[in-house]
Amino acid sequence: MNRIFVTATLATATLIAGGCNRQPALDVQEAPETAAAPAPAGMAPAHESAAAGTDPLPAGHPPIDPAAAGTAGFEIAPVDPTLGQGEAGMAWTAPADWVSEPPANSMRRAQYRVPGPGGDGECVVFYFGPGQGGEPMANAERWASQFLPAGGGDPVAAMKSSTIDVGGIPVLLVETAGTFQAGSMMGGPVTEKPGYSLLGAVAQGPDANWFFKFTGPTATVEAQRAAFDALLRSLRTGG
């Protein structure tokens, strides 16, 4: 959003895929313009791991250690916090009303609580290590598979995608909506959240893709759409 998206999926880890004033992402106080900072290792949440029996991880995704499996899912090996820094890093400017929180694990280089009219959403930025994370579209499709379209049908077919260039950085944009199956990639209990949306992006960093995944109640995601776009358009290398 890399030992990896997830080591992560993101992308989930596979992606799809924030923060600001060159202050560490672990600082819960948001400040404009901070390079992404390393986060503590830990158990990967739903969108950052895959359980036995789920779709295969995209090529380039870090392996999951079955021996570390627990009742909540699979534990992912932590990413070396010295990676993805300096010339190999990326930085961005987070929206002023987004609340920076301590990343839940080392695959998350930033994590935000996003307020809005529908209730809080969450935006997470993933990095899995040099050359890790998998191909952008494979991650995006994996994210889309967590959503059941309101009208039924194939979740991946319901996903919209496009590409932009931000100062020479190729970025894949994806979005979808429906019933979000929280926990569906982790092998544990699944919590269905109707009326949810996803805005995601995969940006090509100096040594690996960076994944930006924004999920939340549709009213909140739509209200914060322009803010998410502004964050992406502030991307620069050398965090």
Q: Which residues pair with 181 in a beta bridge?
A: 192
Q: Give, for all 239 residues of the chain, the pLDDT tens digit.
A: 433 333 333 333 333 333 333 333 332 223 333 344 443 333 333 334 333 334 455 554 444 433 333 334 445 678 898 999 999 999 999 999 999 999 999 999 999 999 999 999 999 999 999 999 999 999 999 999 999 999 889 999 999 999 999 999 999 999 999 999 987 665 668 899 999 999 999 999 999 999 999 999 999 999 999 999 999 999 999 87
**187: CB partners within 8 A, 6+ apart:** 49, 50, 51, 52, 53, 54, 69, 73, 74
CB 169 within 8 A of CB 191: no
Q: Look up the pTM and report it.
A: 0.71
Domain 46-237 bears CATH identifier 3.10.20.30: no
**Domain coordinates of the chain in residue numbers?**
46-237
